């Protein structure tokens, strides 16, 4: 008998079940059956994730989208991202199938995507020496430059106006959020509202395809080849600004290592102007996540925004 999906009725019950392999495995196998795709012998969970995600030993990844935790919008964005990325030769998963666990259900039908697995290891678990790490950071920059060139023409899901709205919502909430997160000194937090420009003033050029969650589990590498072999998880994709995507990349994946950031910017051929640190600090405050949570720096003693901008984002020009 299949586990009862109707027990998931709230954000809390969804959170309790979302990474529960024993609960989801029978449903994953049933979903693959419904699409005529092969069942894996073994399934594993890659770790904590917003969505239930399970990787089979046959190279298939099944990602489920619930009614809670922004599941409907995540599915919409991710499916659109894979449509836009198809055929461009980037190291992103291939979309192999799309279905519903309960197509005839009166309530939520539990849509899912089937994707190809990424080659290599997540950045966070890859073993590298310093020289290789710098090479890989440059390759990440090259990948992001290619991502910027993906045409957004014809997209009915990714709207530049939605990205502007996101930045304005974040501007309104930034100071209060940082008081709760407690990574910064109270005086510095008090200065955030006056520091932040309006979103339209901050944005630079035409909207581009931006991956907003470039944390160390979403980039895959093969260090011995010096290659970035996978970019996954397009829940948080935007028609936005390249610099927004740098925030999670630098503060999570690179651990605020400015030498790695500089290598990525060179790889992306991104011009670093004197205003770059302050612009990036603005995007840091406007990001949709608590991006300072994993930054290995004690920032609580910093009392000046210019000092903070240089500490986090100052790179050689």
pLDDT tens per residue, range 24-56: 999 999 999 999 999 999 999 998 889 999 999
Band of the pLDDT at 317, cuts 50, 70, 90? low
Q: Where in the chain is the domain with CATH 3.90.1200.10?
A: 121-313
Band of the pLDDT at 82, cuts 50, 70, 90? very high
Alpha carbons within 13 angstroms on the beta-carbon side of residue 183 total 17
pLDDT for res 154 = 83
CA distance 71 to 85: 21
Q: Where in the chain is the domain with CATH 3.30.200.20?
A: 5-116
pTM reported for the whole predicted model: 0.94
- For 148-162, what is the mean pLDDT? 91
Q: Which fold has domain 121-313?
A: Aminoglycoside 3'-phosphotransferase; Chain: A, domain 2 (3.90.1200)
Q: Are 189 and 175 in contact (CB under 8 A)?
A: yes
CA distances from 252 to 225, 257, 261, 293 (A): 23, 10, 11, 8
What residues contact 225, with CB distance under 8 A and at least 6 apart?
Answer: none
**Residue 6 known to be catalytic:** no
**Rounded to 5 degrees, what are φ and ψ at 261?**
-60, -45
Among 229, 232, 227, CA closest to 217: 232
pLDDT value at 204 more than 80? no
For 5-116, give the CATH class: alpha beta
| Residue of 213, 233, 236, 252 marked catalytic | 213
At 56, is the secondary structure helix, strand, or coil?
A: strand
Helix (H) or strand (E) segment spanning residue 44:
strand 43-44
Dump pLDDT digits (tens) for 284-316.
999 999 999 999 999 999 999 999 999 999 998
Diameter over CA atoms, the chain:
62
Helix boundaries (H) for 182-304: 186-190, 192-195, 199-202, 242-248, 258-268, 276-286
Dump pLDDT digits (tens) for 241-290.
999 999 999 999 999 999 999 999 999 999 999 999 999 999 999 999 99
């Amino acid at each position: 008998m299949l586990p009862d999906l109707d027990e998931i009725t709230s954000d809390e019950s969804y959170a309790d079940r979302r990474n529960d392999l024993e609960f989801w495995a029978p449903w994953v196998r049933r979903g693959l059956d419904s699409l005529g795709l092969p069942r894996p012998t073994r399934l594993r969970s890659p770790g904590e994730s917003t969505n239930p995600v399970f990787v089979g030993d046959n190279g298939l990844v099944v990602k489920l989208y619930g009614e809670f935790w922004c599941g409907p919008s995540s599915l919409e964005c991710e499916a659109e991202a894979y449509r836009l990325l198809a055929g461009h030769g980037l190291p992103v998963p291939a979309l192999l199938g799309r279905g519903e666990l309960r197509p005839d259900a009166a309530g939520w039908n539990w849509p899912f995507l089937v994707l190809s697995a990424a080659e290599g290891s997540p950045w966070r678990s890859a073993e590298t020496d310093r020289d290789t790490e710098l090479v890989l950071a440059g390759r990440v920059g090259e990948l992001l430059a290619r991502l910027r060139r993906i045409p957004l023409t014809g997209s009915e899901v990714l709207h530049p106006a939605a990205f502007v709205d996101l930045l304005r919502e974040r501007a309104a909430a930034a100071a209060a959020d940082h008081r709760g997160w407690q990574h910064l000194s109270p005086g510095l937090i008090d200065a955030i509202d006056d520091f932040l420009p309006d979103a339209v003033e901050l944005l630079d050029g035409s909207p581009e395809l931006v991956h907003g969650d470039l944390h160390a589990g979403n980039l895959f590498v093969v260090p011995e080849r010096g290659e970035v072999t996978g970019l996954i998880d397009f829940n948080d994709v935007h028609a936005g600004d390249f610099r927004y995507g740098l925030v999670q990349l630098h503060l999570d994946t690179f651990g605020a290592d400015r030498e790695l950031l500089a290598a990525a910017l060179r790889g992306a051929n991104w011009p670093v102007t004197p205003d770059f640190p302050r612009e990036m600090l603005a995007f840091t405050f406007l990001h949709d996540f608590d991006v300072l949570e994993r930054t290995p720096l004690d920032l609580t003693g910093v009392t000046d925004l210019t000092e903070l901008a240089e500490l986090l984002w100052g790179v050689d020009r």
